[in-house]
Structure formats: C-alpha cells, structure tokens
Amino acid sequence: MAETALARPGRATRRVRVVTSAVIVTAVALAVLVVPPLAQLDQQAVDLANKLDPPSLAHPFGTDDVGRDLLLRCVYGLRVSLLVGLVAALTATVIGTAIGALAGAFGGWTDRIVMRVVDALSSIPHLLLGIFIVAMFRPGVWPVIVSVALTHWISTARIVRSEVLSLRSRPFIDAAVSGGASRTRVVVRHLLPGVLPQAGLAAVLMVPHAMWHESALSFLGLGLPAHQASLGNLVQSARGSLLAGDWWPTLFPGLFLIIPTLALAGLAGAWRDRINPRRKSELML
C-alpha cells in the first residue's frame, strides 16, 4: 500500500485536476457501457494471420499473440475490472459500516472483541489474505469479489466506529433515548445517517484500490480465468511478448488500468477535501 502525501495544491490546479478526472471517468463509463453492445465485434476473434501486429489504423492498440484486437480487449477488460472493483468496494463498505456501527454503538465487550479481531486481521498483509481466499475457489469473478471485499472492510469499519463513537456521546442521542427511541432506532435513524458521507467516500476511494487488487490477483494467475479479458489478465498474458520486444500488449492494458483508477481517485480526493477540508489530500492505492 503506497501512501503518497501531496502538499495541498492551489485552487486552480485542483480545479484542473477535478475536471480532467471527471472527463476521464465519464469517457471510461461511456466506453465501458456503450461500446460492447453497440460495436457488435467479437473481442475473442482470433486472427492468426495478424498476430502481434504493432499499433496501426486497423488496430490502434495493435493485436495480441493470437491476433485479437487489443483496443477491444482493453475495453472489455476494463469493463470486467470496473465491475469487480465496484461490487467489491460496495460489499466491503457494507460489511465495514455494519461492523463499525455495531462496535461503536454497543461499546463495551462487543467493541473490544470486534476491534481485537480487526487488529488481528490488519496484521496480516491483505494481498496475502486475498490470495489465500481466492485459492480456495475455482477462478472466476465471484471469488475475486469475495476475496477483495473480505480483505478491505477493515479501514471502513475503523472510520465508521470512530464516527459513531463521537456521535454517540452527543446530547441529541440522549434526547432520542429520552424520547423513547429503541436501540435500533437510535442506530438507524440518528447514528448511521451521520456516518454515511464518510462511508460513501471510503467506498469510492476503495474502487480503484479494488481494481488494482483484481489485476494483481489475475496477474498472479489466481484471479479471473485466463480467457476472460480483464486488465490483470491482459498484462499477464503479454509478459512473454514483452521480452521479445513487443511493448504494446503490456503498455495499453497498463495505461487502461492506471489512468481510470487515478481519475477515480482524483474525484474521490476532491470529494474528501469537501467533507474533511483540513486533511491533506493523499492518495491511497
């Protein structure tokens, strides 16, 4: 996990960054949603006569080692990676919010036990834990989602717990208790709405992170099945040709992973600056 703390840039720089990020994210969303149904092209079409063609007008990103068009493969790959990233981040956020709210709202022994489990889990490198989880299943989309979700709820749980703890001691919670509100009502009506902005932010920040994990797992051969285009798989299968000097099958999927995730992180960072204006903007991947 690389943590890059950047000095807070000026207003104009920030605006440029947000606008660029928004444009990239919109373009990516359009490409991923619109191209596959409209293009009617077979991303699996093998063309052995044109294998490993360098970028050209017919194939802007070139072709891979069995002659498949890399631009199309990248778009499909990004689609799968984004889907995995979104679903995994949402699942992790739901798990983390539930556990954090439980620990914070009940306090006492519940809190102590839950937080010790969280500490224990966070002492294991989460990629290692993720590898362990996917290794128990056949390769596929769902094991990857489960693995990423189960290893990424921890920070959300910590954030939500501390927010709930700070809200719990406010007099308005006392007022609700005095007005006859049940435990559930206090949590659902008064505590959770207060932590949702933070949890939502954590979810968006987690999407790029989860995409990188999907790619890492696929790159290690443990993630998605090899025929399914995902960004990690594309990079993985291009390793051989890179050594032979064919750079395009590695470069383009790599850029497809890096640029959209940076753009997403940029947007999430801008949102965080709005919620927590005092915190320095930092990118967590």
Partner 1 sequence: MLELTGITAGYDRRDPVVRDVSLRVAAGEAVGLLGPSGCGKSTLAKVAALLHRPDAGTMTLDGTVIRGWRHRAPRERRTAVGVVFQQPRLSADPRLSLRELIAQPLRSTGRRRDVPERVAELAPLVGLSEELLERRPHAVSDGQLQRACLARALVLEPRLLICDEMTAMLDASTTAALVAVVERYRAASGASLLAVGHDRVLLERWCDRTVRWGEPSNGSERPAVG
Which residues would be at the binding site for partner 1 (CB under 8 A)? Answer: 170-172, 174-183, 185, 190, 193-194
Q: What are phi and psi of 136, to 5 degrees?
A: -80, -15
Phi, psi of 135 (to 5 degrees): -65, -20
Could you tell me the smallest distance in angstroms from the CB atom of residue 195 to partner 1? 12
CB of 266 to partner 1, least distance (A): 29
Q: Which CA distances in Å does 276 have to 169, 194, 280, 281?
A: 21, 14, 9, 10
Backbone angles phi, psi at 284, to 5 degrees: -110, 125
Quick one: 119 exposed, middle or buried, by C-beta within 10 A (0-12, 13-18, 19+)?
A: exposed
CB of 273 to partner 1, least distance (A): 21
Closer by beta carbon to partner 1, 171 or else 277: 171
- CA distances (Å), 152 to each of 38, 124, 136, 156, 173, in order? 35, 12, 18, 8, 30
How far is Cα 240 from Cα 18, in angstroms, rounded to an integer? 37
Closer residue to partner 1 in complex, CB, 47/174: 174
Six-digit token string for 155: 């920070």
Shorter beta-carbon distance to partner 1: residue 36 or 197:
197
Q: What residue type is 248 in one-letter code? A: W
- CB closer to partner 1 out of 65 and 111: 111
Report DSSP letters for 209-274, one per residue: HHHHHHHHHHHTTSSS-TTS--HHHHHHHTHHHHHTT--HHHHHHHHHHHHHHHHHHHHHHHHHHH
Give the span between the Cα atoms of 131 and 148, in whole angstroms: 9
CA atoms in the 13 A half-sphere facing the CB of 87: 14
Complex with partner 1: residue 123 or 178, whichever CB lies closer: 178
Shortest separation between residue 166's beta carbon and partner 1, angstroms:
12
Query: How far apart are CB 226 and partner 1 at their closest, in Å?
Result: 49
- Shortest separation between residue 202's beta carbon and partner 1, angstroms: 20
Q: Which is nearer to partner 1, 35 or 176 (CB)?
A: 176
Between 177 and 284, CB nearer to partner 1 = 177
The enclosing H or E element of 183 equals helix 183-185
Report the nearest approach of partner 1 to the CB of residue 261 (Å): 33
Give the residue with the Cβ less far from partner 1, 171 or 245: 171
CB of 189 to partner 1, least distance (A): 8
